[in-house]
Amino acid sequence: MLEVGKKAPSFTAVNQNNEKVKLADLTGKNGLVLYFYPRDMTPGCTTEACDFRDNFNRLKKLGFNVVGISKDNPKSHTKFIEKQELNFDLISDETGEICEKYGIWREKVFMGRRALGIVRSTFLLDPNLKIKKIYDPVKVKGHVDEILKDIQELFGK
């Protein structure tokens, strides 16, 4: 299990443009908001992505980049970005390797059925990729506001 104060697990994956990206290349001047979500185009994931989109400039001004990760393929990410006019990268983790490293691929219960899936989670990282805060599980409503508040408290921004 990941802990606050530990270095975030590194990874290399592809974004929506099928370009190889490394975790170390994704951080902003002051840090990174790395969020995991279950699936492109679903209601909760769309609400969450649009909230990050609408607050992206506020986060950028504070020196933070935003990156979303799901098991969807790059083509699905591209459609999601275009449809919702997202202004940040989405990483494809089709194998689930990144989800495993971050401990968010777990058993979930949905409508009485148990199944493995991505537990909606966010990791707030400093510029050295140390974990400053873990949000797990995430409630979509008010999540980005909570992150902005925590950035002010944890980073003095």
Distances (CA, A) of 62 to 130, 152, 155: 17, 9, 9
Rg over CA atoms, the chain: 14
Residue type, position 95, single letter: T
- The tokens for 92 are 């494809």
Residue type, position 66, single letter: V
| Beta strand extents in 71-130 (DSSP E only) | 89-92, 105-110, 113-118, 121-125
Of 45, 66, 86, 90, the catalytic one is 45
Calpha distance 146→140 (Å, rounded): 10
State phi, psi for 139 to the nearest 5 degrees. -100, 125
Assess whether 50 carries a catalytic annotation.
no
Measured between alpha carbons, how far is 93 from 39 in angstroms, rounded to an integer? 11
Tell me which residues are annotated as active site.
45
